[in-house]
Amino acid sequence: MDKVKRAIPLIVSLMVFLTLYQMALKPRLFYKLTPTVIVGIVAAVTAFVLSKPREKRFFNYYIPPLLYLFGVLSFLLFIEINIIKIAFAFIFSFLIWIFLENLYLSFNQPQKYQLYGFQNFSNYFNLITVFLIYSSFYGYIVFLRVPLWPLLIAVAVVTFLVLEELMWASEINLKRSWLYNLVTVIIIAEGFWTVAFLPSSMYVDGLILTVIYYLLSGVFLNKLLGILDNSVIRRYVIISVIILAVVLMSAKWI
């Protein structure tokens, strides 16, 4: 059984790659193959979760990979060149492998797992996820003519789920984090509405909103962990400003 669990990250990541590869070549298979990937990821996470006694808020283990998969599938809808789709499929599958590998080590080989390793990885994994989802939602508006208000609700829900998982991975009680999460969700929702009217591409819009998420979640997380000081705030602000400046100066405005 241990050998089977050890092989799960590689097996599932290969399955994800082959599925995304087939979707890139034959988009009509999207609806047939998507359930298979979802079942595979849920089964993999469940196999790890069941290896130790159930803990409170255990459902958070399922949030990152499923939201990430949703972001990946949505993002790939707007890429037209097959070779680029296949390249992204490889990258996205590799990230799924990293996530499942981290999950396996945290459950089955904790002695080899760095303290707060899952928390640190969740930070980066969530940033990729929100970028994919935020960008895709702007693509829905521009290319699919989806109304803004239902996507606004979806952005709020996605942001809340990502924050809930981040706080949980950082061992922060929901009673302490809910107000910070709520403030972040409101600001992100307002930002999504505002950025939607900018004459820029879906990728630029998604990146702008992701930087806002990065700044707010980083500052609030450090506040709740009791390690927030002027140097931490300065670091997050400087990084955010530099990224925004580079993006805005290099973007092609419509």
- Whether 13 maps to a domain, the answer reads yes
- Whether 118 maps to a domain, the answer reads no
| Residue at token pair 């399955």 | 15
How far is the C-alpha of 162 from the C-alpha of 125, rounded, in Å? 10
Q: In terms of domains, do 6 and 105 share one?
A: yes
> Is the per-residue pLDDT at 115 higher than 60?
no
Tens of pLDDT along 126-177?
999 999 999 999 999 999 999 999 999 999 999 999 999 999 888 898 899 9
Domain boundary (113, 132, 159) is at 113
Number of structural domains the chain divides into: 2
Domain boundary (113, 140, 171) is at 113
Distant-in-sequence, close-in-space partners of 90: CB < 8 Å, separation ≥ 6: 17
- What DSSP assignment string belongs to 54-115? --TTGGGGTHHHHHHHHHHHHHHTT---HHHHHHHHHHHHHHHHHHHHHHHHHHH-GGGSPT
How far is the C-alpha of 70 from the C-alpha of 136, rounded, in Å? 10
Q: In terms of domains, do 220 and 135 share one?
A: yes
Q: In terms of domains, do 17 and 109 share one?
A: yes
Of all residues in the chain, what percent carry a pLDDT higher than 70?
93
Q: In terms of domains, do 106 and 137 share one?
A: no
For the chain, the C-alpha Rg in angstroms (whole number) is: 19
> Is the per-residue pLDDT at 193 higher than 70?
yes
Q: Which domain range does residue 142 map to?
A: 124-254
Tens of pLDDT along 197-249?
998 899 999 999 999 999 999 999 999 999 999 999 999 999 999 999 998 88
Domain boundary (113, 147, 166) is at 113
- Whether 119 maps to a domain, the answer reads no
Q: In terms of domains, do 136 and 191 share one?
A: yes
Q: What is the pLDDT of residue 109?
A: 73
pTM, to two decimals: 0.94
- Whether 196 maps to a domain, the answer reads yes
Q: In terms of domains, do 70 and 196 share one?
A: no
> Is 235 in a helix, a strand, or coil?
helix
